[in-house]
Amino acid sequence: MIKHIKTVLLLLVTISMVFTSGCFDAIEPDEMAYVVALGLDDGTDDNLIITLLLAVPIAVGVGPEPGEIDNATNMITVAAPTILGGINVINSLISKRVNFTQTKLIVISKELAEKGVERFINTFIRFREFRPDTYIGISRGRAEEFLKESKPVLEINPSKHFELVMESFKYTGFSSGSTIEEFYSKMECTCNEAVAVLLDISQIEETGDLAGVLANRKNSDGEVLEGDYTATDMPVVYENKVRQMGSAVFKGDKMVGELTGRETFYYLMVSGKLGEIRYTMPEPDIAAHSRAYVTLRLSRARKPEVRVKIKDDKPVVNIRISLEGDILAVTGNNDYSTGESLKKLENYASDYIRRNVVSFLEKTRDDFNSDICFIGKSVKKTFLFWEDWIKFNWTDKYKNAQFVVDVEVKIRRSGVMVKQVPVNQLKGDIK
């Protein structure tokens, strides 16, 4: 009897293997049109303007000739009420089936983002072809124009180009590096809000235009440090006109404001996403406009500590940030390599960054009323029941938050220069 049962089971397994391992629905790689980037704009009559930047497989594989990088991609734009409906229309007119498994960037226009992006994000999360690590960016202009101007210069593979550009936040700190998975989880979270990379097309044609751009971006000290601007105002002349700098801030699923590149650096710092970046600040005790700066390589020494106490129904947020770094450059004549001067630089850097972090947090409170730094998590875990947490309404409480920030900067190395001796001390003043 047992022998017969084993025989029947073996027969069933064999039959199952035959009928479940078929390839009737398989698609060959060369039968698919791979989307490198997707753009969404607001259209008329409740339609979307959907733009696909498609990779041309032969051009990407072989490599285009110099000056023919446009041959590596092909752009298609369609109007439709839904994203996948528009893709269906495109599938009816090209010889390959549209596929999103290699998509690296999704661009949504600012106009559309201010109306709400939940319906798009739900599509990206639900449809299996979109990878969770696909980056999401907000274009201040039309997404279609942004993709049209995207012309990789140093990278033949357009997919690799978008991936590397979006990952640059790890060593620049100027953008948020938001993915659709991260964006969705923050959008749905009751103790956090979402951010996205801020994108735009540069209008600067030549170096003569740089002075006017910088004049409009001066800070309270009358100077412009790197990152004191958004993607629109980057003082850069480059063959590729597309720019990424700063972050788009959301509340719920609607965009409510923007951060500059430098403010995004403080966002990464408070939220614990800071990589290893280069940070420039004025030298200690140096008058404004003296052109005396110190550039440090900064990284996170340990995870930021965030504690929140509710006092008189107002959140008091205590944040402790620990950083470490190296001295990369000193443009003035002071030596900060050792001793008291090194300690002085550490204290100055700690206070300088602290003041800017507080200013950034107050901006998220006063201008956006949006907790993008996950501060609410420290409050949420103190509630035993979900209903009590929802009734507490953290979003409403955040607008009354008070911030107490402590920043500690430890400089571990002073570069390969043991001591800095100014030339005028060696040779006297040269007239």
In terms of Cβ atoms closer than 10 Å to its own Cβ (0-12, 13-18, 19+), residue 170 is middle
Residue range(s) defining the domain that contains residue 149 = 29-202+238-259
Euclidean distance between CA atoms 377 and 191, whole angstroms: 6
Decide if 139 is inside a domain.
Answer: yes
Identify whether 19 is part of a domain: no
* One domain, residues 40 and 130: yes
Joined together, the tokens standing for residue 297 give 């390589």
What CATH number does the domain containing 366 carry? 3.30.300.210
Identify whether 136 is part of a domain: yes
- The parts of the chain modelled with pLDDT lower than 70 are 1-3, 18-27, 29, 58-70, 217-222, 287-289, 416-418, 420-431
Indicate if 255 and 355 belong to the same structural domain: no
- Residues 247 and 389 both lie in one domain: no
Each residue of 379-416: pLDDT tens digit? Answer: 999 999 999 999 999 989 999 999 999 999 999 887 76
253 and 120 in a common domain: yes
- The pLDDT tens digits of the residues spanning 67-97 come to 455 677 889 999 999 999 999 999 999 888 9
Asked, for residue 372, whether it belongs to a domain, the answer is yes
Q: Clarify whether residues 280 and 393 are in a common domain.
A: yes
Tell whether 151 and 249 lie within a shared domain. Answer: yes
Residues 187 and 243 grouped into a single domain: yes
Total number of domains constituting the chain: 2
Neighbours of 256 (CB within 10 A): 17
Residue 210 lies in a domain: no
Same domain (yes/no): 52, 181: yes
Domain co-membership, 170 together with 312: no
pLDDT for res 66 = 44
Do residues 251 and 323 both lie within one domain?
no
Which residues does 334 contact at the CB level (< 8 Å), separation at least 6?
A: 283, 284, 292, 341, 420
What pTM did the predictor assign? 0.88
In a domain, 216, yes or no: no
* Last-in-domain residue among 190, 224, 259: 259
Question: Is 123 within a domain?
Answer: yes
The string over 239-253, giving b where at least 16 C-beta atoms fall within 10 Å of a residue's C-beta and e elsewhere, is ebbbbbbbbbbbbeb
Q: Does one domain contain both 178 and 301?
A: no
Asked whether residue 287 falls in the same domain as residue 373, the answer is yes
Q: Does 3 fall in a domain? A: no
> What pLDDT score does 9 carry?
81
Secondary structure of 327-344 in HEC code, one letter for each residue = EEEECCCCCCCCHHHHHH
Question: Which of 263, 428, 429, 409 lies closest to 349 in space, CA to CA?
Answer: 409
Among 214, 229, 259, residue at a domain's last position = 259
